[in-house]
Structure 1
Amino acid sequence: MTAQDQYAAKRREAGEAVGLIEDGSHVVVPTGVGEPPTILEALSERRTEFRGVTVSQILPLRPYGYLDPETVEHVRHCAYFVGGPTRAGAQAGWVDFYPSYFSEMPALFREGLLPADVVVAMASPMDAHGYFSLGLAPDYTMAALEKARTVILEVNPNVPYAFGHCHIHIERVDAIVEDERPLLEVGLPEIGPVQKAIAGHVADLIPNGATLQIGYGGIPDAVVMQLLEKRDLGIHTEMIGDGILSLVEAGAVTNLEKNVDRGRMLATFALGSRRLYDFMDRNPALEMHPVDVTNDPCRAGLVDRLHSINGTMQIDLIGQCGSESLGTKPYSGTGGQSDFVRASNRSRDGKAFIVLPSTAKGDTITRIVPTLTPGTHVSTSKNDIDYVVTEFGVARLRGKSAHARAKALIGIAHPDFRDQLTEEAGKLRLL
């Protein structure tokens, strides 16, 4: 049977395709825009027909009907990373979550520590050889495919056919659902004066020829806007978005000075505009790989001059970062921050930047605190932290004593809180 014959035989309506999911199954969904909306909408509509089904992914983007506290005995979400649609459920307790480093998730699937019975994913149209590209998010999905007994693809002509280790053959697919809706687009975050000030401090420390990992958010994208005049930058990142695309279009990114993967950008998931998705299509300058290729600190640390830029919500006076919870309440997830901080520390001439505004809620709360709010999940440890940047300057903590760290962090706190932080540091015997 030819690949085309197999394709025709496996086409299903979405409602019929989700009928392949058995009670008690663990369903794995790719990150972000890699989620298949038609399939997940059909699962939502039929959710009361199932029992004990779990759906897991990083960064869900749509409020699907199965995200319902009244039907969790039928279909429940267990997050790898909490997003907007799942945040309220996670904080209320009816959405569960798996703590893990993003880079280690493929190994957890292969070792059977993370379950994967069914994989549902967005895919490009099939090529002449019978292969689909899952280039929007190969992340942990490629490893989950190795374990899954059932694979359901949502094939959409708007999905780019990306290069890299992100392909699956028709023989491995059990059902195909077709849809032509436009891909979900995510624009650049709003950038204000505080973000611009922070970005300026970071941009001054990034040389020509550096390789960048850029997280999502207003500050990382503000940094990007101040790098447009740089030259021969490289990209080795977790997420590729419109900010990185702007650097490419400005001629700032050539990847020609990378000592690893020279001439190529590497990423594990995409999140941006139609312009970005068009750029990804059959572009040999970009490869989409699983997250253990992009994020593994040992592998990424081989890249010289790796500069990582990631945000946090709170940091204490010895350098512990709380980037994923508000006290005990889950807000996001570990993601790749710790991976890339450790990778940048290993990299020759690398730098790891943790960026944050000095205050929150209209300058009424300091984000630099004596100790993290009780119950806060520590995302980046005191032993890994390197550069911390607020709108008031840069504190380099790596290699500094606890006393020196407290002094440096107080120096980049909002002036209104420096006396209070100094007093609290004294009580903690840090000054």
Structure 2
Amino acid sequence: MNVQEIYKNKLIGVEEALSKVNTGDHIISALAAAEPREFLSKLHLIADRVKDVTVSTCLPMANYEYFTNESYSDSFLLEGWFYTPAIRNAHKDGRATFIPNHLHFAGTKRVQHKKCNILVGTASPMDKHGYLSLSLSSTYEREIAEKADLVILEVNPNMPKTFGDTTIHISEIDHVIETNYPVPELPVSEPNEKDKIIGKYIAELVEDGSTIQLGIGGIPNAVASELVNKKDLGIHTEMFTDGMVDLYNAGAINGSKKTLMPRKMIATFALGTKKLYDFINDNPAVQILNGNWVNDPYVIGKNHKMVSINTTLEMDLSGQCCSESIGHVQFSGTGGQSDTAVGAQMSIGGKSIIALYSTANIRVPGSDQDQRKTVSKIVTRLTHGATVSLSRNDVDYVVTEYGVVNLRGTSIRDRVNLLISIAHPDFRDQLRQEAKELRL
């Protein structure tokens, strides 16, 4: 039987795909823009015949009924590796819960705990040899495809064909659903003035010939815009972004100095605009590889002059970073922050950079939305219940709009003085007094 016949035999509709779901099943969905929209948007329609179905996912791009509508609470529970606003709302009502993880172990540890009955994802169309591409993510998808009872993929001609561990043969897939919808996009956040100041400080730390990891948001975008005049940069990153496309087109990125996979831009998933998707489509210079390899700190450390750039929500005077919760309330996730920060410091000439604004404008507890106050994001104690995403042992450079400090090898006394020096001036005296009272 040729590959076209095999494909035809595995072609089903979304309703038939949903019929494969049973009570108590564990479904794992592909990450972010690689998620299967048709399957997930109709999953709630089988709520009357299933109970206790768990869906593990990361960065869902849409607010699907199965976890946003309280009517389906008995049928579905979302367990997320990284929260979005929709998951945060579902969490409040008991329809979602968080999976603590370092990204490189997310899929591995999940299936050690809970067998995957169904992997659902997306793919670009099959080629003449019978191969499809998992397209925008191999964070955990390729690994789970080898362990799941059933693999169901939505084949979409709009999904870019990518190279690396995204390649999968039709013989490894149980069912395909043909779809045709636009690839979800993440608009580029325009940097504000604080972002631009921080971006300039960070860019000064990045030497020519460095290999970089960037995330999403105003600060990473500001960093990317400040790196355009650098030379011979390389990419080894968790997430491939629009800013990296701009740097490549500007000539700043060529990967010629990379010590691990020279001239290849390495990522574990891609998320951005159509410009990004067009750039990675059928582009062998971009390799989407398994997250358990890309984000392994020991692998990251093999890149000479590796620079990781991450952000945090709050930092205490010893260097502990809370990057994923507001007090006890889960806000996002650890993701690859610890993976990349530790890996960069294993690199010869490497640097790990944590960036944050010096202050935040927050709602006064117990008040309405109009009553707000400015607080320092560098604090003597993390907010009660806060999650430590990056331990103080693993923090290197710290950047705010007031400057840069290097905590590598420093004592707590040193850290107190260094971090207060880049805190907002309005809070420095208070921080010094509190530090003395706590004998820091």
**Deviations 1:193-250, CA, capped at 9 Å, x for gaps:** 0010111110011111100000111101100000011111000000001011111111
- Partner SS for 1:403: helix
The answer to whether residue 432 in structure 2 is matched with residue 422 in structure 1 is yes
Q: After superposition, where does 1:55-66 map in structure 2 within 5 Å?
A: 55-66=55-66
Distance 1:2 1:423 in 2: 75
Distance 2:17 2:141 in 1: 19
Equivalent residue, structure 1, for 2:178: 178
Equivalent residue, structure 1, for 2:382: 372
Distance 2:349 2:92 in 1: 40
Equivalent residue, structure 2, for 1:345: 345
Q: Which amino acid aligns with 2:248?
A: V
Equivalent residue, structure 2, for 1:217: 217
Equivalent residue, structure 1, for 2:396: 386
- Partner SS for 1:119: strand
Shift of 1:343: 0.2
Equivalent residue, structure 2, for 1:78: 79
Distance 2:93 2:411 in 1: 39
- Partner SS for 1:364: strand
- Partner SS for 2:418: helix
Equivalent residue, structure 2, for 1:325: 325
Say if 1:45 and 1:65, in contact at 8 Å, map to a contact too. Answer: no
Q: How many residues align?
A: 429
Shift of 1:97: 1.5
**Deviations 1:347-375, CA, capped at 9 Å, x for gaps:** 00000000011111187111001010011
The answer to whether residue 239 in structure 2 is matched with residue 239 in structure 1 is yes
Distance 2:381 2:179 in 1: 50
**Deviations 1:82-118, CA, capped at 9 Å, x for gaps:** 11221112244331121111111243256x2243111
Say if 2:215 and 2:241, in contact at 8 Å, map to a contact too. Answer: no
Say if 2:355 and 2:399, in contact at 8 Å, map to a contact too. Answer: yes
The answer to whether residue 264 in structure 2 is matched with residue 264 in structure 1 is yes
**Structure 2 unaligned spans of 5+:** 363-372
Q: Which amino acid aligns with 1:260?
A: L
- Partner SS for 1:231: coil
TM-score using structure 1 length: 0.97
Say if 2:198 and 2:399, in contact at 8 Å, map to a contact too. Answer: yes
- Structure 1, 278-287 or 331-340: larger mean CA deviation: 278-287
- Partner SS for 2:222: helix
Shift of 1:27: 0.6
- Partner SS for 2:393: coil
Say if 2:324 and 2:387, in contact at 8 Å, map to a contact too. Answer: yes
Distance 2:110 2:128 in 1: 30
Shift of 1:300: 0.9
Q: Which amino acid aligns with 2:297?
A: P
The answer to whether residue 191 in structure 2 is matched with residue 191 in structure 1 is yes
Q: CA RMSD in A?
A: 1.3
Q: Which amino acid aligns with 1:234?
A: G
- Partner SS for 1:278: helix
Q: Which amino acid aligns with 2:14?
A: A
Say if 2:81 and 2:106, in contact at 8 Å, map to a contact too. Answer: no
